[in-house]
Structure 1
Amino acid sequence: MSQIKIKKFYLNEETQILFNDGENYIVGLTATGKTTLFNLIQFILGIRKNFNGIINNSQKPYITCEFTNNRLIKISRDFNSNEVVFTEGNTIKTVKVNSSELNEVYSSFMNPSTEHYKRSALDILNFSFLTAIDLGKSYFYKKKPLKSILGYNEEYLESIENDINKLKSGLEIEKQSLNLLDIYIENVRASLLSINGVVENPDQIIGILEMELTKVKKTYESNYELLQRSKEIYDHELTLYDEFFQGRILELQPYFQEVLNLIMPSFESKLNNLTLSDLINNKNINMNNTSMGEKIIIYFALHLTLCRSLSNEKFQNGGSGLLVTDELFIFNDNYSLKRIRNKINEVTKVGELQYIGFTQDSMQIPKENIVFSLPQNKGGSIFG
């Protein structure tokens, strides 16, 4: 999967943000517009259907993203529009949100390494955004994109299963028609025998009906064979997806464990060796004695593990290479926060990730990584 890099955000002449390829922070006090800006970026990209923020802005906001082979794509969207506009040079393409075409457009930009990821571009992009709000009971609304990022596309498999069920229903109707036609022919045959001599060429009539019956039988048999082949294909696809999915989990587990143990050394004893598989499948998890700060570390480790853009001869993942968080670490102490930022710095320096963090805590953040400061007076906002 090609890495996505957000290069520029444009709201108006006064508010333009340039991002570097590694670590970026947007800082500001509470109620200065951080979450509004976070949501607006998702809205422009088309992964957020609606935007409820109040903005006094007459211009169309846009984002410039860099994809494979240094392709710079300008992505824009009107505040009240359900369409995303992609501009590359003189080429302009307008696509509706929540559409398969939007997924295809991002897939063409992100250049998936395998067929497993081609149907999952939007899910993968959606997974790149995380807030503390996501970490309640509603977190597993991200379960579908979470599986997609590991190459398991449930919607695709469900679509095959639905097609099989439709074919099966059609066959049942054909079988009923076949039985009714068979009964009808027998009734006609009996009627012709009872009025022997009244109707000319009764055998010819029966012959014509039996020819029709033979045609219906052949159609039924052909569709039955199609159903059996479809079932075999589905079972084969399901096996391939399961193997691919489980393989990705096994390959990523050591890194997930490493991140957790680095940031939260007490992790092993506290959660009884929670695995990536448990977390993804939401099984064997008991976080009743886990603080909000510890939950944030666990899910941050999950997103960091899956969002990195990896590509080598042995292993390619479906990570976007982008992670954007909004006030994610407000419940963490300075000790954990320092370790988290050290890990972010490490991953961004080797080029596996572009990180954009929205935060009110600018302490210990190098000035060169602060790409934008929102108004420092509480209640002020760039959005008017």
Structure 2
Amino acid sequence: MLTSLSIKNYALIDHLQVNFNDGFSIITGETGAGKSILLGGLSLILGKRADLSNLKDTSKKCIIEAVFNVSNYKLKALFEAEDFDYEEQTIIRREILPSGKSRAFVNDSPVNLKGLQILGERLIDIHSQHQTMQLTDNGFQFQIIDALANNDAILQDYKVELKSYKKLQKDLKELLTFQAEAIKEHDYNSFLLSELVEANLVDGEVETLEEEYETLNNIEGIQEKLSEAHQLLSEEEIGVLGSLTNLKNVFQKLSGISSKYEDLFNRVNSSLIEMDDVFSEVDTLQEELDADPARLEVVDAKLKAIHNLMQKHVAEDVAELIQIKNALEEKVSATESLDENIQKKENEILTKTKQINKISKEINKTRVAVIPQLKKELETILASLGMPNAQFKIEATLKDAFFANGQDELTFLFSANKGGQFNELKKAASGGELSRIMLAIKSVLSNYIQLPTIMFDEIDTGVSGEISNKMGDIMQDMSKTMQVFSITHLPQVAAKGHSHFKVYKEDVDDVTRTNLLKLNHDERIVEIAQMLGGIEMSSSAIAHAKELLN
């Protein structure tokens, strides 16, 4: 609820500070006294765009500040979503600077206008005869029915499932798009993969193959050199083995004469053993060495194939080619398994669709069940407001489509006259009738959900005394569960308020200013008497005013 309002340097308001109570508050004042200025200032708090022309003194900034008690409004989630600091006593401030710039604050933290508008919609509902188009909004009509049906919890379940359903639909669409693209590439990727698989790649094999190629390609030269080594080792007179054998015999004889030659004997003997082993290995290599042109062709072809693949895939080595092969295997495998994944996703969507359909049927069932009650309550209220033949035709029809709040298509038709045709509200009801319908709807809603503070701006214009009396009763009854303001010219309505404020103009130092004054009991008698009989109050007007207040 709105607990206080402060306005500085706005239009005709120099400085206004007023505190409000809960219940039913009345605001009265002569035409042109500044009630619209008061509403304009309040609208800035709710996120309306600022205008430099609103400054009373263009050399000073305009400050409008309102304090709201939001403890019963369940707004913590909204505050978190908008990144506002939550306080049960929430302060909203707007500033219009002489430069034309505007600033907004919630609990002293700067906020943008969009966030302020979202919060403002949950704090105050300003309603006038000219602001009844909300009635024709399908979302608002659903809100009315769902409030009576107490559908909050089940609608939340529906929205959770719908979000999940839309996510599945998005995933399926991405899979189908990927499949369409993958099919185009599948044959090419399969061809590339088959080339790499056929190459039978082994990390590090290039070096081994190159060595084998060099050996096979130079077989004659190798044979020649091995033969030369064989000869150097084994030639009878000058071969290394023969010479070492003779040298060994020499030192063997010397070691028999003196032990100091024994070390030389051992060293020569070791060299002879080593050279003999070298000779055996040369012999083996000669035996193993065999010209193999066929093998040379195979090795040459394999090396060329690997180098071609490296060039084709811009790879530095076989290890990188193997990585490319693995990646292609995944792509080809993924493409080949897409049908299975798509089928799985379609099954998930089918299951989710059944879940949503089940919830939607429950929502439809609860809506259909409360429609007769809503019709009866609205028609009863409207009959008391001078519309005895008002009738509603409301139907919630289950459709196949998934909407934001269920699968229902809502028909909300109205007829103001007996035997008249049912039509949409905007076509079937006049402006005054729409105002009374809105009052009836807000009255009904106030019994089922916590509505924000509501301000009726001359909603009772153009109605008779008896009907205005009933309007006052309805607004007074609504104020039992919410804070209600009524800006009115009718004494019958004014007398029903728990608090009464008067908007008035005064001239101070040749400057006109608008003020707001809370009236005491005696001042209320005078104000209502003047509303009944004009400035020149008669004793009967005063008596009538006292009677209305009592």
Shift of the 262–76 alpha-carbon distance from structure 1 to 2, 3 Å rule, reads same
Partner of 1:188: 192
**432, 447, 459: which one pairs with 1:293?**
432
**Which has the larger displacement, 297-306 or 26-35?**
26-35
SS in 1 for 2:490: coil
- Show CA shifts across 1:60-114 (max 9, x none): 2111111227932221122466764222xxxx43332324x985xx5xxxxxxxx
Partner of 1:27: 28
Partner of 1:97: 113
- Show CA shifts across 1:3-60 (max 9, x none): xx111111137422322211112222334332342243233133x4x24572416342
8 Å CA contact 1:259, 1:301 repeated in 2: yes
Query: What letter corresponds to residue 67 of structure 1 in structure 2?
Result: V
Shift of the 234–191 alpha-carbon distance from structure 1 to 2, 3 Å rule, reads same
TM superposition shift of 1:365: 1.5
Partner of 1:130: 127
Query: What letter corresponds to residue 209 of structure 1 in structure 2?
Result: L
Partner of 1:359: 488
TM superposition shift of 1:297: 1.1
Shift of the 8–228 alpha-carbon distance from structure 1 to 2, 3 Å rule, reads farther
Partner of 2:469: 338
Shift of the 207–9 alpha-carbon distance from structure 1 to 2, 3 Å rule, reads closer
TM superposition shift of 1:252: 7.9
- Superposed, 1:218-297 pairs within 5 Å as 229=348, 236=355, 240=359, 243=362, 247=366, 250-251=369-370, 254=373, 257-258=376-377, 260-265=379-384, 267=387, 269-271=389-391, 273-275=392-394, 281=410, 283-285=412-414, 286=423, 290-297=429-436
**55, 58, 73: which one pairs with 2:90?**
73
**Which has the larger displacement, 165-174 or 293-302?**
165-174
Which structure: greater helix fraction?
A: 2
Q: Distance in 2 between matches of 1:160 and 1:56?
A: 53
Structure with the greater alpha carbon radius of gyration: 2
- Show CA shifts across 1:102-134 (max 9, x none): 85xx5xxxxxxxxxxxxxxx65546x3322112
Partner of 1:44: 45
8 Å CA contact 1:123, 1:144 repeated in 2: no
Partner of 2:6: 10
Where relative contact order (Cα < 8 A, 6+ residues apart) is larger, the structure is: 1
Query: What letter corresponds to residue 21 of structure 1 in structure 2?
Result: D
**313, 324, 332: which one pairs with 1:213?**
332
1:382 aligns with 2:514: yes
- Give unpaired runs (5+ residues) of structure 1: 107-121, 311-316
**Which has the larger displacement, 59-68 or 29-38?**
29-38
How many correspondences in the alignment? 338
RMSD: 4.6
Q: Distance in 2 between matches of 1:247 and 1:346?
A: 27
Q: Distance in 1 between matches of 2:430 and 2:166?
A: 42
- Give unpaired runs (5+ residues) of structure 2: 9-13, 73-86, 147-151, 200-300, 310-320, 398-408, 415-422, 507-511, 516-550
